[in-house]
Structure 1
Amino acid sequence: MEGMGKYKLPSGTIYEGEMKDGMYHGSGKIIFTDESIYSGIFSNGYPALGSYQFSDGLVFSEDNWQYCDGYDRRFESEIKHGLNAPGEEKLTDGPTMQIPPKFYNVGDGFYDPENRIVFDYQMRFLRNANVAEHEWTTKYGRKGWDEFTNGQPIPCNPELSDPRLNDKEWINMNMTKTYEEYIKVSNLQNLLT
């Protein structure tokens, strides 16, 4: 295959552009099934120079990437539309996930730093964390507990401040019922004792 062409891979990904000896060679683009696009110059089947655009339109630039790195924790929507007013900050780019006490949210689950284990959001084992993941997560990751500044509590999630819950109760409670259901049962039990 030589010249301009369009090739659809078995996965549904499409290459459009120049080819030489059956390989991507010259200018072209790869359109992935999630509608993200890599456009650039290819050399003997390999990308040589190009850019990647996510399906939402955000363009990745290695030299000027400012999206959710360790120093700039803004979300894509905050980069495009600006930051919210104080007190209305976003904790996530979607619904806020409840993190168990003493755990961190690592994007694909919860991290237990004491045992260095990552669980999925249903608390099933995912992997053991390596040293780099442990250090980054404990330094920059979102925590499942409140911290104090100048003697004043910083509210993280007021629903998790019930001192009657230990870690295992919180995890078990979230596996079977909502927090509100648990508190109703706890309050009823307190009235009966």
Structure 2
Amino acid sequence: MNQNHHLANYFGELRNGRMHGHGTYWFDTGTRYVGEFKDGAFHGKGTLHFNNGGRYEGEWKNGIELNGEYIFSDGLQYDPEDWSYCSENNDRRFYPEHINGLKPSDRCLMSAQSDSLSGKPLRYIPDGCYDAGDGIYDPSSRVLYQYGKNEKEPLGAFLRNVTDEEHYWIVSHCRKGWDEFIGFQKSTEE
């Protein structure tokens, strides 16, 4: 008979002392899987819930992912076949702008997490760093940090070191905390 049991990182049904049936498993990173298990492995339908609010809904067989889709915290579904959001075409509109159209220039979004009236970002990005979507990326150290609490504590705990490919993507596509002058510059040539 399957009954719910609570183990160190698991709550759900067990069979012969192993995760089997429906349950929830928490990873040390805070990510959690809610779904079906078989003989201690993900098996059947389940959802991985990430700390950034995104989730991956998929189907597994004996611990191997068969298919699924990633859904961002704002509801945007990743589609590898038809992905135009922040693509190589440099379409920098955010998901709400794709859905609702562009707002007048005085009410634009600086990020998908901006105050809708002022356009001021809800997250502070330190100079020279990038908002990578799941944390703040510091390219000088090549480290991704959790989001900090405020401007005085802009960086949270260490998340991970990034790969060369991830570094290139972040600096090419993500919003940067400005450390350089932009705008009108008087010409030095006369």
Q: Normalised by the size of structure 2, how large is the TM-score?
A: 0.50
Write 1 or 2 for the structure with the bigger share of helix: 1
Write 1 or 2 for the structure with the bigger share of strand: 2
Q: Which protein is bigger by CA-based radius of gyration?
A: 1
